[in-house]
Structure 1
Amino acid sequence: MSTSLATPSSILIVDDMEENLIAFEAVLGPLHQHLVRARSGEQALKAMLRQEFAVVLLDVRMPGMDGLETAANIKRLDQTKHVPIILVTGTEGGADYAYRGYAIGAADFIAKPVDPWVLRTKVNVFLELHRKNRELAMRTTGADGDRLAEITERLTEIVLLLRDRPDADTGELVDRITEVERAVGALLPGGTGTG
């Protein structure tokens, strides 16, 4: 695993009450990720524009911009719309908040009092998804990105050959397709590119 994949992901914890922030940090601490606090919806939006987060843990009931409004704003921004949000609320109004939260685009919902094991498990799912997305992004940049561009160019040549010459030499097509298969095989995990 490369060092950039081994670096901790960031989790944004949004709650207006200090004791809740402390409790969430204690529960999520064993995941060994970078925990960022926000005490309001406004602070959460500013934090989201400053850095990338794997997941947001967002209290629904806050003064000013509440959690639902904050979630809606997060989902409106191109930069942050794909970040999963776990809404957290007390038991009162839970079903209504859950429905409204899911309608906005929240990925999950958890009620207080929070079961530490359940919260860590839910957050860990989103952390793993974030790691996989970073890994995939890294594979399609740099040398692999150059290889993908080369493969795309070869596929374009094959398409042009087929389109421009319906009576194209079958042997030439087979050779070009074999080259593309090898190049794709080299990009796949554990691929050797030997066809």
Structure 2
Amino acid sequence: MNRQVKILLVDDKDESLIALEAVLRPLQQQLFKARSGQEAMKLMLRNDFAVVLLDVLMPGMDGFETAAHIKRLDQTRDVPIIFLTGTDTGSGAAFRGYAVGAVDYITKPFDPWVLRSKVTVFIELSRKNRVLQEQAELLRELVRGDGAAAYAAFADRLERVETALRHLGSSAPDDDGLREAVKELGDRVAGMQTAFEALHVT
């Protein structure tokens, strides 16, 4: 059974948060809401989020500043950020968003189906990443002990992750940021596979 992941929604307007929650509720994940950059940072330090949907125009610490803080901390720097804004993308705001580390930049009003599709990719990436972390621990146990059963379980799980990533890569939306994230995770799986095979030979 697929485990739920956590998604952070950041916007200073209650109506925007309600709209985002309505769009993403069908994904059946844990949705957290923050009404400021400061509140978002506090939540991020206490939770592991699969993706952050971040409004650009907020009083005090705006979306760009919030994203810069997120990317500055070791604990949160790898969390994908999708900017949501009503500003014109031709103003250079989109470039600034990518420059601070966002994986996508969507202008309002957005297509609910498109947003759900993009978020779904990061949900799956988060799940695969969690499985990889479990595999790494299993590999460490394998190194510490003899465990033929652990070896077989690791090989089976690694194969399932590789299959899921191939499917995810072929079905991901036509978006360079999302495809790059899938590729990066695929490279990590390949590296783990190489290490695992070397251990098996040894």
TM-score, normalised via structure 2 length: 0.72
Q: 2:11 aligns with which of 9, 15, 26?
A: 15
Compute the RMSD of aligned alpha carbons. Answer: 2.7
Computing the radius of gyration from Cα coordinates, the structure with the larger value is: 1
Long gaps (5+) in structure 2: 160-196
Given the alignment of the two structures, is residue 188 of structure 1 paired with residue 160 of structure 2, yes or no?
Answer: no
- Counterpart for residue 157 of structure 1: none
Q: 2:93 aligns with which of 87, 94, 97?
A: 97
For residues 20 and 79 of structure 1, what CA distance do their matches in structure 2 show? Answer: 27
Given the alignment of the two structures, is residue 145 of structure 1 paired with residue 112 of structure 2, yes or no?
Answer: no
Given the alignment of the two structures, is residue 43 of structure 1 paired with residue 39 of structure 2, yes or no?
Answer: yes
For residues 94 and 30 of structure 1, what CA distance do their matches in structure 2 show? Answer: 32
Given the alignment of the two structures, is residue 127 of structure 1 paired with residue 123 of structure 2, yes or no?
Answer: yes
For residues 124 and 16 of structure 2, what CA distance do their matches in structure 1 show? Answer: 24
> Is the CA contact 1:86–1:109 (under 8 Å) kept in the aligned structure 2?
yes
- Counterpart for residue 70 of structure 1: 66
Q: The residue matched to 2:156 in structure 1 has which SS?
A: coil
For residues 94 and 187 of structure 1, what CA distance do their matches in structure 2 show? Answer: 48
Q: 1:30 aligns with which of 23, 26, 30?
A: 26
For residues 186 and 23 of structure 1, what CA distance do their matches in structure 2 show? Answer: 43
> Is the CA contact 1:140–1:148 (under 8 Å) kept in the aligned structure 2?
no
Given the alignment of the two structures, is residue 81 of structure 1 paired with residue 77 of structure 2, yes or no?
Answer: yes
Residue-by-residue CA offset, 1:56-90 (whole Å, 9 max, x unaligned) = 00000101000000000000000000000000111
Q: The residue matched to 2:74 in structure 1 has which SS?
A: coil
Residue-by-residue CA offset, 1:1-49 (whole Å, 9 max, x unaligned) = 5xxxx33100000000000000000000000000000000000000000
Question: What letter is aligned with 2:133?
Answer: A
- CA 66–52 in structure 1, closer or farther in 2 if over 3 Å, else same: same
Comparing 8-17 with 97-106, which one deviates more in the overlay? 97-106
Write 1 or 2 for the structure with the bigger share of helix: 2
Structure 1 segments, 4+ long, off by >6 Å, are: none
Long gaps (5+) in structure 1: 152-182
Percent identity over the alignment is 57
Q: 1:117 aligns with which of 110, 113, 118?
A: 113
TM-score, normalised via structure 1 length: 0.74
Question: What letter is aligned with 1:42?
Answer: Q
